[in-house]
Amino acid sequence: MRIGVLALQGAFREHKQTLERLGAEAVEVRKPEHLAGLQGLIVPGGESTTIGKLAREYGIDAAVARRVEAGDFAVWGTCAGAIWLAREIPHYPEQPRLGLMDIAVERNAFGRQVASFEEDLEVKGLDKPFHAVFIRAPAITRAGPGVEVLAYHGKDIVLARQGRLLASSFHPELTGDFRLHRLFLDLANNFVTS
């Protein structure tokens, strides 16, 4: 399998290493032409304003949108990447983004004092909890009817799926637990339907 990792800014190296550990070929994506031959793309955590601005400038968001709309492509946004996927970003409506997932995402939702924290999350479809690291994380505060919620932190949604789009508030590439990367490879292979 060939999976891209958007490599404009942020924590892309850890995703790349994880994909390689799972036997996938991981390709750094910096231009639209790098998407050719890929089955999916991971958009890492980092600074969502920077990632959004650069992706727009290089034409990556338009190219990714075409692939998603053609139905042959999976995208997983983690943390800043989840913000990039979101249709709605309250307080930052003008922020450049892909915007194809029917969710609202509140940036830095967990406050400045507890900017970072860790939690063992119950995730739908996983037999044991997933140790999740949140770093200045966003919360998914609304999910449309086509969105399946896979995990909550309190009342907030922190993992959700819409077709072959996946959004997580946390950083799954930091804990050595590969289960969510495996789930994403399944999405990219189109093994998961509904």
79 is known as an active-site residue: yes
Please choose, out of 31-39, 75-83, 151-159, 174-182, the segment that lies near ligand GLN by the rule CB under 6 A.
Answer: 75-83
Residue from the set 4, 46, 163, 172 that interacts with ligand GLN by CB under 6 A: 46
DSSP calls for 115-176: -EEEEEE--TT-SS-EEEEEES--EEEEE-TT-EEEEEETTEEEEEEETTEEEESS-GGGSS
169 binds ligand GLN (CB under 6 A): no
The total of other beta-carbon atoms located within 10 Å of residue 184's CB is 29
Pairing of strands 165-168, 139-143: unpaired
The answer on whether 66 is annotated among ligand-binding residues is: no
The answer on whether 140 is annotated among ligand-binding residues is: no
52 binds ligand GLN (CB under 6 A): no
Q: At what angle do helices 179-188 and 12-21 cross, to 10 degrees?
A: 80
* For ligand GLN, the closer CB: 40 or 81: 81
The answer on whether 47 is annotated among ligand-binding residues is: yes
Residues known to be catalytic: 79, 171, 173
**Which residue ranges are tagged as binding site for L-glutamine?**
46-48, 107, 135-136
